[in-house]
Structure 1
Amino acid sequence: MDSGETKISLKDAENEEKEQFKLLHKYEAEVPKTFEEAISETGFGRFNYTLLVVILFPCATQMVETVGMTYIVPVAECDLHLTIEDKGLLNGVTFAGMISSGLFWGYLCDALGRKKIIVYGYLVTGFFSVMAAMSTSKGMLMGAKFMSGLIMHLSKSKAVLIPIIIFFLFVEFHAWNVFMLICASMTIISGILYMFLPESPKYLMSMGRNRAALVVMRKVYSKNTGKPQEDFPVKKLVNEAKQNFTSSRVEMATALKSGWEEMKTILHRPHINNMILASFNAFSIVMSLNTLKFWLPGIFQSISDYQNNHNGTSSSMCVMLGEMSKPKNITSSQECSVVKFHAWNVFMLICASMTIISGILYMFLPESPKYLMSMGRNRAALVVMRKVYSKNTGNPQEDFPVKKLVNEAKQNFTSSRVEMATALKSGWEEMKTILHRPHINNMILASFNAFSVVMRQVFSSLLVILTFISATCMFCIYFARSSLAVTILSAAGTAVGSVPENLLLTITLELFPTTLRTIALSIHLTAQRFGTTLGNAIFPYLVQMGCLPPFLFIGIFASATGLLSMLYANTENKPLI
């Protein structure tokens, strides 16, 4: 009996030890992970490539929304009876809208979520861009472009769609209207594409919604690796919810108070001097560069008008620039030498855009499982069916009852096509292997570090040299006598000047501690937009004063940036705080 009891007790001890091991293993598996630890487990794959493709559209949208008007103004001058002052206001009105609403976007992103703001923001911007494209007066065009920058009353804007569409049928369209519609379609496509992307898991964690963040990470993990979502190794996330946030919304008073405290800190010593210097440099360099960039199409138009009126001959910039400030005595729209479109032309363009959007949306759908089976790719077909089953039922993909499919491969599937598919697949696998190797990341990191070291050594002199080169090129446009000379000098001046513009942004981030970096960046960007708006408003009056003042104005402010950059504190080899 004693030996039997001993065996039972030993067995119980072994079982208890196993249970404790399982519990310990389970506990270790459920140790909360930080965002960085969890997101690193999702890998790099199809989701990341999709994200990169989607981002192309917002990048294009940002360009056409801010710079597109500069190409429209010279062409629309005749139809809308624009004066030179009107052109300056139209060039800068979008940035005025950005300045008006810039302080609210940070709060709205925290309160409503990144995805919502991005989707609604692009769709409403697209709506106002369509309104701008249908403009029949300069007031309507200016108001629509201002609202594109401002984006107010997002939820109410849908109510005026129907009268706008009705009005659209009676508008006579010109080439610039169609160009603006194409630009608007890019904005709308960006908003539609963002609908298919998940909310930022970082934002979800900051709002205390760890379960939702974990669901997003599991989906990303599954898309990148091809494995089931249940295999995602992270089971629990660290609670990163901010103490001053409610579970669903950021308290407005708290956000405003926090922002005001940061503003008071940055406007007092020792930060006030750095902030004034950084803001003025941002203001002056962008006022020079963007004023020139935004008025270049008008300058080229003046040169073209002069040559057309003088049998193709050229003259000095002073003489040719005089065409810009001359009033156009147009008595009817028939005298405007532009291409006109009727409503049916634009309707066909809209139909074409719908076709393009359909093609983009189909990129997010899987291949037909029937086709995959007919090509002998039963495993791929089964993967598609499992995903459809999981999305339709909410159950894990592993619960899909079908484990094997009948071989329905076509007999006429030639060996050459198989070889081609195999070769392409092999090449793709090799490419993925190369891109996933850790030493590639190390090489990139080492390159950036080496570049940073070199930049630190020549930083102070480089910034001054580049700003003076840019200022010289832009001022020398005054001496140009042809479109080619203007093109070369303006391209060199703006290209070289864009380097100091980005360097100044980096300096601003280095000058301030982490707690003040966000507000410092906001002030820096606001100063840039204010410089763009003011520069475009002043430029027409300088042109009316003569041909020298506008180019002298651009050159002086670019040079001032280089001189004032010498006053920056030395941050070399100092750690970021």
Structure 2
Amino acid sequence: MNRGGEIVPVSVISDGKVLRGRDETDEEEPADFEKAIVAAGWGKFHIIVYLLSITCGWSSVFETTTMSYVFPAAECDLNLKLEHKGLLNAVTYIGMISSGFFWGYLCDTLGRKKVLVAGYFLDGLFMLLAATSQNFPILMTAKFFGGFIINGPFSALTSYLSELHCAKQRGQVQMVLGVIFSIAFLVLPLLAILVLPLDFKYVISENFVIHPWNIYLFISAAVPLTSAISFIFLPESPKFLMTTGRNEKALQVFRKIYRLNTGKPESSYPVKVLVDEIAINQSKNHGKMTANRTKKEALIEGWSQLKPLFKRPYLPKILFVCFIQFFSMTSLNTLRLWLPQLFQAVNDYQQFHDESAPLCDMMSVFKVNTNETEDILQSSAECVVNTNNYSVYTNSMVVAAVSIGSYIVASGFINRIGKKHLYSFLGICSGSMALSLYFSRNVVTTLTLASLFVGTGSVMVNTLLAVIVDIFPTTLRTISVALAMMCGRTGAASGNIIFPLLLEAGCAPPFFFVGISSIGCALLGFLLPNTELKPLQ
């Protein structure tokens, strides 16, 4: 626009009409998200986001897994019986299951950043409550609300990272997240080795005593609190801003990404105009989203926004991905959460017999030790914590290291063979490893098969999340991820209830149950849509 001989740039408006940049005389062609994010490049900004996401990924793992290492150290202090341990493991997943829809709805209506900051801050507070617990009821309450809270930021993180990448790069986002999660599984046993064997008791008052396991949980609580602080300094997802009609703010984010990635000034960012996604989404029946909404208006619109998820074409898709995610996570997390118990059986067998044996024989020793432990807790005998569990921790670290390697290898193949084919291939591999555990004849074979099972199974689950991100539009993306994970965690909780019952029936049923579930999901995976290089909606 020319005023008195001076060229004045016209600001961006959401409808994409008659918008010109400085020194431009022709109308600018509006750019969609894919064009805008490609123009912003890939570089320093994305590396910073990934580094800040490390503690975010760890928070989810810490919330679900820390108790596996705390139980042996805290069972005397809290008078924990086996049923208490089962409840503490289950209550975190119950919290997650109960909040799946709630958090996905908030994230798709209020934004990714708000959920990430508030969610991780609240999770850190409940982890601090767990760390200060002096009895079972308080610990139980803290773990329930911790599970309820962590479901939100987990789904938000998945969507946030995917919405900072173009179609060609999005498949690798889940692989990077997988590496972050696997590193957390490596950090937990390492931290346990350093903290839990310590022999001290700091008495603050008669009813408040600090033990090593309290310190272990205090350190864990620092992880989500760090995540909350980190995301305060990051921008909102530009894709979400475009979907809610805030194109000018979205363009500002794109410019900042461009400046950090290229080192060039923001004014040289080539995209000047963004398309009107509100009109596009309404025409495609993706739900109504209004620009410059108040929080109340956003919540009201959110209910109408979710309607497309419960009718065609999205209803059959969400039902299908929830179904296979249910059995995928049933397979993975049932056996994964029981691995420390299996490694404990291996450790006890070797201490008692000074030799290796088939896995089924070593598991029979675990059953005997479990009954003896219950008898001690029910009697007046002195409760003594066994700290000679280094082999359990080191075996867990080996499993985590193999998982990291699995994600690194998979990241090199995901764009070559496609997400759905990778999912099916890994499901067959994971199921085969689980079936083979029944035939394991020594410790080395058991550890190898268990590591490969967890490695391939973990990549399998995260690959399905990458497909879900591509299938659903921005206004339904996080709620879809949250619902899929809610179903998956329901499967995980159910599997952990069923597993000991199958174990009582014999050595073969639990491993065949896990293996067949994984292979069945792999076969169904061939029915997933092909989303390779598909632009974000």
CA–CA separation in structure 2 for the residues paired with 1:30 and 1:238: 13
Instruction: Kindly indicate whether the alpha-carbon contact (under 8 Å) linking 1:198 and 1:216 is maintained by their aligned counterparts in 2.
Output: yes
Kept after mapping to 2: 8 A contact 1:132/1:140: yes
Which of 335, 338, 358 aligns to 2:384? It is 335
The whole-number CA distance in structure 2 between the counterparts of 1:259 and 1:124 is 26
Q: Which of 109, 126, 142 is 2:107 aligned to?
A: 109
Counterpart contact for 1:74–1:301, Cα < 8 Å: no
| Secondary structure class of the residue paired with 1:92 | helix
Contact 1:470 1:496 (C-alpha < 8 Å) held by counterparts:
no
C-alpha separation between the residues in 2 aligned to 1:572 and 1:44? 21
Q: Structure 1 residues 569, 225: closer, same or farther in 2, change over 3 A? A: closer
Preserved contact between residue 98 and residue 149 of structure 1 (Cα < 8 Å): yes
CA contact 2:435–2:515 (8 Å) conserved in 1: yes
Whole-Å Cα distance in 2 between the matches of residues 515 and 118 of structure 1?
A: 17
SS at match of 1:172: strand
- Structure 2 CA distance, aligned partners of 1:490 and 1:474? 7
Matched, 1:495 2:458: no
Distance (whole Å) between structure 2 residues aligned to residue 251 and residue 575 of structure 1: 28
Task: Name the structure 1 match of 2:392.
Answer: none
Secondary structure (helix, strand or coil) at the match of 1:329 reads helix
Partner of 2:302: 255
**Superposed CA offset, 1:323-343 (max 9, x none):** 23441514588733459xxxx
1:451 is aligned, of 414, 417, 423, to: 417
Aligned match of 1:551:
511
Distance 1:222 1:494 in 2: 40
Whether 1:31 aligns to 2:14 is no
Residue number among 288, 310, 317 corresponding to 2:362 in the alignment: 317
Aligned: 1:151 with 2:149: yes
Does structure 1 retain, via aligned residues, the 8 Å contact 2:30–2:273? yes
2:245 is aligned, of 179, 203, 208, to: 208
For residues 393-432 of structure 1, the aligned pairs below 5 Å read none
1:383-438 Cα deviation digits (max 9, x unpaired): xxxxxxxxxxxxxxxxxxxxxxxxxxxxxxxxxxxxxxxxxxxxxxxxxxxxxxxx
Match of residue 411 from structure 1? none
Q: Distance in 2 between matches of 1:95 and 1:48?
A: 31
**Cα distance in 1 for residues equivalent to 2:36 and 2:522:** 44
Partners of 1:230 and 1:496 in 2: CA distance: 45
SS at match of 2:51: helix
Q: Is the 8 A contact 1:221 1:229 kept in 2?
A: yes
State the shift of 1:292 in Å: 0.9
Aligned counterparts, 1:84-233, within 5 A: 84-151=82-149, 171-230=208-267, 232=269
Structure 2 unaligned segments of length 5 or more: list them. Answer: 10-19, 153-202, 280-287, 389-410
CA contact (8 A) 2:88 2:140 kept: yes
SS at match of 1:197: coil
**What letter is aligned with 1:102?**
G
Deviation, structure 1 residue 174: 2.9
Q: Work out whether residues 88 and 539 of structure 1, in 8 Å CA contact, stay in contact via their aligned partners in 2.
A: no
Please name the residue that 1:161 is paired with: none
* Structure 1 residues 425-444: aligned runs within 5 Å: none
Alpha-carbon distance, 1:19 to partner: 5.6
User: 2:436·2:449 contact (CA, 8 Å) conserved in 1?
Assistant: yes
The residue matched to 1:78 in structure 2 has which SS? coil
Contact 1:85 1:540 in 2 (8 A): no
Q: CA deviation at 1:282?
A: 2.4
| Counterparts of 1:235 and 1:126, CA distance in 2 | 40
Structure 1, unaligned stretches of length 5 or more? 1-15, 155-165, 340-444
Displacement of 1:121 = 0.9
Instruction: Look up the SS of the partner of 1:82 in the other structure.
Output: coil
242-251 or 130-139, which moves further after superposition?
A: 242-251
1:532–1:264 distance in 2 versus 1, CA, 3 Å = same
Query: What is the 5 A alignment of 1:71-86?
Result: 71-86=69-84
Give the drift of 1:129: 1.1
**Quick one: structure 1 residues 536 and 109, their matched pair in 2 at CA, closer, same or farther if it must change by over 3 Å?**
same
SS at match of 2:376: coil
1:553 maps to a residue whose letter is F
Matched with 1:524 is 484
Out of 292, 297, 305, the position equivalent to 2:340 is 297
Q: Distance in 1 between matches of 2:427 and 2:343?
A: 30
Corresponding residue of 2:160: none
User: TM-score, normalization: structure 1?
Assistant: 0.62
How many angstroms does 1:463 deviate by? 6.2
Structure 1 residue 281 and structure 2 residue 281: aligned? no
Per-residue deviation, residues 14-50 of structure 1 (Å, max 9, x unmatched): xx9x969999974548837434444444444433332
Letter in 1 for 2:486: T
Quote how far apart the aligned CAs of 1:474 are.
3.7
Distance 2:471 2:431 in 1: 23
In structure 2, distance between residues paired with 1:128 and 1:572? 38
Shift of 1:294: 0.6
1:84 counterpart letter in structure 2: L
Q: Which moved more, 1:296-305 or 1:508-517?
A: 508-517
Question: What's the % identity of the aligned pairs?
Answer: 35
CA distance in 2 between partners of 1:168 and 1:148 (Å): 26
Q: 1:205 to 1:78 in 2, by over 3 A?
A: same
Report the more deviating stretch, 30-39 or 279-288.
Answer: 30-39
Report deviation, 1:128.
0.8
Change in 2 beyond 3 A, CA 1:57/1:485: same
The aligned residue for residue 376 of structure 1 is none
1:481-509, CA deviations, whole angstroms, 9 ceiling, x for partnerless residues?
64x44322211222343454456556767
Structure 1 residues 547-575: Cα deviation after superposition (integer angstroms, max 9, x where no partner): 55433433443344456567x48969999
- Give the drift of 1:532: 0.9
Change (3 A) 1:244 1:545: same
Matches of 2:469 and 2:239 in 1, distance apart? Answer: 22
